Each structure stands twice: as C-alpha cells, then as structure tokens.
Structure 1
Amino acid sequence: MVAFHRSSRARSVVPALASLGLVLGLRHWSGPAYAVKGTWEGAPATLKDGEFEAVLKGLEPSVSLPPITFKREGLSLSVENGHLNADYSTKFGAAHAFQLNVNDEHDWRAGLSTADASLRVRGHGPSLDNLFWEASQSGRADEVGDVQLDFNSDKEYNLTVTQDMLGELLGAKFGAKVRSTNAGVTGRLEARRQLPGHAALSYSVENPVGVYDVASSAHVGELTVPVLGGQAGLKLVHENSADSYQGSYSRKIQGGQAHVKASYKGDALGYNVSFGRSLEDLLSVDAGVHVGADEDGVYGQLTARRHLGEGVDAEYEAKARAHLGGEAGKPELAHALKLSNKLGYAQLLHGSDASPRLRVGYEFNA
C-alpha cells in the first residue's frame, strides 16, 4: 500500500466534496450511534483514602465517532476515520458493476467487476506514478477443473487449479489442487474414502512452494471413527523430516461435552482431558463449569450470571490451575464479580498473584 500524505491541494478538495453533498440533496443519514465510555481500575483502598482525582481522570469520557453517510442514487458522501469520502457506484448490463471512491487527501480507488472477473485500481491525485492495479479472473475449464488467476501491476501472479474429483479407485475418491506463483509451484493430492460404520479415511501429500523433493513434502493421514456414541480420530503428519501423531475422542456425557486429546511431536508428549457443562438445569442461574487436565496440571473455570432486578445484572467468574510434577507450586486462583446496569458497572477482581483490584466504568450509545 502506498503511503499518502496531506498537502495544501488536499484542503481544496473539502469544499468541493461538501458541495457535492449539497447536490446530492443530503437526504439520508446512516450509521450507528456514537459510543461514549470511560473506565478506571485500581486498588479499592484508593476510594477509602479519598484519592478521587485518579478515579475521575480515568472516568473522563472517551467518544468513538461513527461513520456518517449521505446517499442518493449511487452517489454518497461520508465522514469516516477522520476523512471525507465521495463514492459512486453503478451497475450496467446483467453482471457488470463499477465503483469509484475519492477522499479529501486525493486518494482514489476504482473497481470494475463482472460475474467472473474484476479489476481494482488505486492511486493518488492525477499522477500515474503511484498507480497500482490488481486483477482476477475465474472460471471452469472442461476436464481440468476450477481455475483462478490473480495478478497485479508488480508482476506478481497466482494461478490456482482445483479439481475435487479426479477419479475413483478401489472406493477412494481423489482430488488435487495446484498453485503456481512467482516463487514456484505447489501441488496437493488428496484421497478420501468412506469406510464401513460411518468411518472415514483421508490422505494427502503437498510440496512446499518451489520445492519438488518428495521427501520434503508434507504427508497427512487421518482416520475418524464413531465409537460408543462419540467421535474418535487419529492423525499422522510427516513434515520437515519429523513425524507427529494426534489422537482425539469427543462425546456428550451427563448433559455436557467431554474431550480427550493426546499428541506426540519432537519427543514431547501432550494431552488434554476436559469436560464442560451448562448448569442451568441444576441451578436457578445461567451458569457453566469447565474442568480438565493437561501436561501442565489441572484447571477449572466456573461462570455464573443472574439478573438481580431493578435493571441490575451480576456476573461471577472463577478460574483455578494447579501445576503438577517437578514445577508444582501454589495453585493459581482468580475470581471476579461484576455488577452492571445500563448506566455503568463495577467489578472486583482478585487473584493469588495480585492484590484485589476494583474496576468501574460506563459505556452507552448516544
């Protein structure tokens, strides 16, 4: 992207664009309301000691202004991110479209598109020195597959040919994808087969861009099998002269979801066993729990939300992790309680590695 800078010429564009707005009739104003917010966080003792200056300083309003747009018959005038923009778009024919955008710094963009091709151009002012364009075309070639070509004024190109169904052999369906760039060619060949019992097996091989040594290609084999009401999977990968293995199992249990995953890569063993469940059917609040264990230790999280009445809502979250093995230490604990209504919120945070913190703030749309 070319970096553009404001000039004295740019300032002259503002009244011209403003006049365009008057010509449009400025009859339509779209865009969300602007957001006003402020927040402060500190030790609760700050309020007890009467140190309100820092609190009030943090609660000074911050305003996020929305884009404002006036539109009429394909022409629009807008203010967005501090810039004044004029846009024009139109359609002609069955599938042709044209777009043009100019802003108050003389930056401009134009685009022309059809059902299967597009051309996008951008520049700065009337000079063509900084002109940049990019084009794309897509289609389907008989007995070849889907073809996508992207290229630009920097002489970069990307040609992709995809054929999802090359053929079928011994019950396996074969597909391929070939991509050619300035750096070379990469290809991916994939075989997929459905097995008895709703199991599925797939295998793929793909070479890095411009590297045509088969030994350097990535080989991925994956097997998925329904087991005991759940889904089991085994994945084997050979890439960069290294092998890795991953096994997984997922199943719904007792109203929740259980996951088991184990992996082995580079002489390192990893695993994660977890269970998550909503507690809405057991408690009178919107709550959930998530517990698990991995190679670093055991962990858990509890969340709860409840409407207290009079427009006040309460949220509570607790997290815990205990490290096991040689690096075992004190458990890491953290919890937070938040009270909020449409005017603002107050949140108390506390953890084993930090002193209690109080966070207050507000946010509303105007």
Structure 2
Amino acid sequence: MARPMRRRSIVPGLAGLAALGFGVSHWSGPAYAVKGSWEGAPTTLKDGQYDSVLKGLEPAVSLPPITFKREGLALSVEDGRLNADYQTKFDADKTFQLRVNDEQDWRAGLSTADASLRVRGHGPSLDNLFWEASQSGSAEGVGDVQLDFNSNKEYNLTVAQERLGELLGAKLAARFRATNDGVTGRFDAHRELPGHAALGYSVENPVGVYDLARSAHVGELAVPVAGGKAGLKLVHENSVQGYHGSYTRDVSGGNADVRVSYKNDALGYNVSYARSLGDVLPVDAGVHVGVDDAGVYGKLSAHRSVSQDLGADYEARARYELGGDDGPELAHSLKLSNKLGYAQLLHGSSGSPRLRVGYEFDA
C-alpha cells in the first residue's frame, strides 16, 4: 500500500516549480492596495486623544494575486496560498484543468462544448472525493435539456421550450425541472396588444407540490398611458390574492413613479419623484422625494470639484413617520476626498456628530 503523501512533500515541489516559473514568465498581478480608516467623535482630536486615531489609520495591505504562466502551466499566489495550475486541450474540443495548492487541496475538470466533469479532493486519499457532472443538449420536439448530477446522488433535470407555439395570438413557453425533492413546472403565455400594450400570464407550482391551488398564478398587463407606462399585476399564490399597480412617467426633467399594492388586507403605496439638478445648479446634484404608507421621505445629494484633485460630496436625508411619536429623522454628511484619502463629517438627529477619516491607494 502506498504511503500517504505528507504536506511537506508538496511544498518544496511547488516551490521548485515557482522558481522555474520565475525564470521563464512575468508578474501578471495588479498593484496591491493599502488602506486604513478611523471613525469617532470630533472631540477626540480636540482633546488630543490621538492614540485611537493612529491605531485605526495603521495600514492594512491587501496583497495582490501573482501569476506566472508558460505553456499551460501557471503558478500563482492568492490570499497567501501557493497554487499550481495546468491546462491543456486535446481532440480539438476537450479541455483538461488541474489545480493543486500548498495545503494539498486539488481540483480537476474535463469539459467539452456540451458536457463537463469536475472533481475535487484533498491529498492522495479518495475518502473525501466529490464530483459533479453536467450534460446539455437539444432534443427535437422536446426543447433544450440540461442535466446536472453529483457524487451525493443529487440531480437536477431541466427541460425548456421557449417556442412552444401560439394560441389565439399568444406566444407560449414552458419549463420543467425535476430534482430529488420533486418536479416543478412553469407555463408562460405572452401576447402583444394594439397600441404597444402587452398581456402576460404564468403559472408555476412549488417543487414537489402538485396542488393547483397552491401554485403561483401571475397575470400582467402593461399599457402606455398619457406619455408614461402603466402596469397591473395580479398574483394568486397559496390561496392568497395580491394586486400590484404601477405608473411611471418623465415629468419636468425627472421621473415620477407611483406604485400601489394590496395583499393580506393591507394597502401599500409609494409615490416618488427623482430629478437631477445639474441643469439648474452649478454642481452635480440630484433630489429624490416621496411618500409611502409609512411616511414621507427625501434625499438631496451634490458633488463638486474643489480643485483639480479634491472633491466635495454632500448628502442630506430626511424621513417622517406618519402617526409616530418621534419627530422627523434627519441625517447629513459632508465628505472631502482626493486620490489618497478622505475626511467625512456625519451628523443626524439620532446621534452625536461623527468624524470619519481614511486613505486608500494602489501601490
């Protein structure tokens, strides 16, 4: 019986290959990122408590992946781990791939245009071996077929027919999926109506549940109205009826959006308007206001270049809950930033002012 492979036996081998790769290839990884940040009360600086600030600003270095390649062999370092990869093609349409790392984890794969087999394990032992395979194709009169299965005896068979035919001017499509837990199917019908309107209907049962009353029935209607687009959706699922309506339209350079829903005896709505203010203000700004079933809300954001390398960003948010005991929630922030770092002041009605400073650059 062969002796088990030890961890120290694979590391020198990979290191030797790395030395070979260093001599014949080149650095192909991106620059590494250096960053640090601190957040706290502005009084921290006023009181001279710099220890926590400097501690937070200690650099955290995100090491880049380093890769060396030659003739199908690749050596790389990712997240502090050494990997050896090998890839080759044969018979014109088959590809073989293998990866081994310094922890003896490995994975291999063989693939063609319509099939694949992937295997992974640890060391020379086959005790923890796992594989998964897939096969796809098209069957005449049936549709597109996809089969996935693995060593845990789990399978997933999907049959899709996007062009099932037409009935009363509606285009029909169907999709069926069989798994270890049962079968699910979805049937779709879609029809274009005069005036750029569209009508759709679908029904889909949960996996392994064959009670039509528990299936999801969805009917949709989209109609152009008064320069905008109106939509109505009816959903019947698990014997519960739901209604959803929407209307969107461009108004005065912005977008108006109205949404209404009714489900489980609860009415929900959201009416909002969003617009860029760059055409009326000397800064890149935008506003978003609205009202929903919980309250009134709004957001204002703006950006301006202070100098060639320095930019300023401001954002204010407000929300008022209807029927609540608390007053309006207000929050705003001002941020100055350049290519190396940033300083941001945050303040809201729910807390004291906070200062956030940091830096990030690629080296």
With normalisation by structure 2, the TM-score equals 0.96
Please point out which of 141, 144, 166 is paired with 1:143: 141
Post-superposition Cα deviations, 1:204-260, rounded to whole Å, max 9, x if no partner, equal 111111111111111111111111111110001111111111000111111111110
* Residue identity matched to 2:161: Q
Post-superposition Cα deviations, 1:237-294, rounded to whole Å, max 9, x if no partner, equal 1111111110001111111111100001111111101111111111111111111110
Q: Mapping of 1:1-366 within 5 angstroms?
A: 9-24=6-21, 25-324=23-322, 326-366=323-363
Match of 2:187, SS state, is strand
Q: Runs of 4+ in structure 1 displaced over 3 angstroms?
A: none
8 Å CA contact 1:204–1:221 kept in 2: the answer is yes
Post-superposition Cα deviations, 1:299-338, rounded to whole Å, max 9, x if no partner, equal 11111111111521101010000111x2253110000000
Residue identity (%): 74
Most deviating of 291-300 and 23-32:
23-32
Distance 1:179 1:8, change over 3 A: closer
- Tell me how large the CA RMSD over aligned residues is: 1.3
* Residue identity matched to 1:361: G
* Residue identity matched to 2:352: S
The CA deviation at 1:9 is 2.2
Match of 1:309, SS state, is coil
Mapped to 2, the partners of 1:272 and 1:354 lie a distance apart of 28
Mapped to 2, the partners of 1:256 and 1:328 lie a distance apart of 33
The CA deviation at 1:82 is 1.9
Post-superposition Cα deviations, 1:111-142, rounded to whole Å, max 9, x if no partner, equal 11111111100011111111111000111100
Post-superposition Cα deviations, 1:321-359, rounded to whole Å, max 9, x if no partner, equal 0111x2253110000000112221111000000100111
Mapped to 1, the partners of 2:74 and 2:31 lie a distance apart of 19
Post-superposition Cα deviations, 1:49-103, rounded to whole Å, max 9, x if no partner, equal 1111111111111111111111111111111112110001112233211110000
Distance 1:102 1:130, change over 3 A: same
Distance 1:229 1:154, change over 3 A: same
| Structure 2 unmatched runs, 5+ | none
Match of 1:327, SS state, is coil
Mapped to 2, the partners of 1:23 and 1:59 lie a distance apart of 39
The CA deviation at 1:12 is 3.0
8 Å CA contact 1:28–1:72 kept in 2: the answer is no
The CA deviation at 1:365 is 0.8
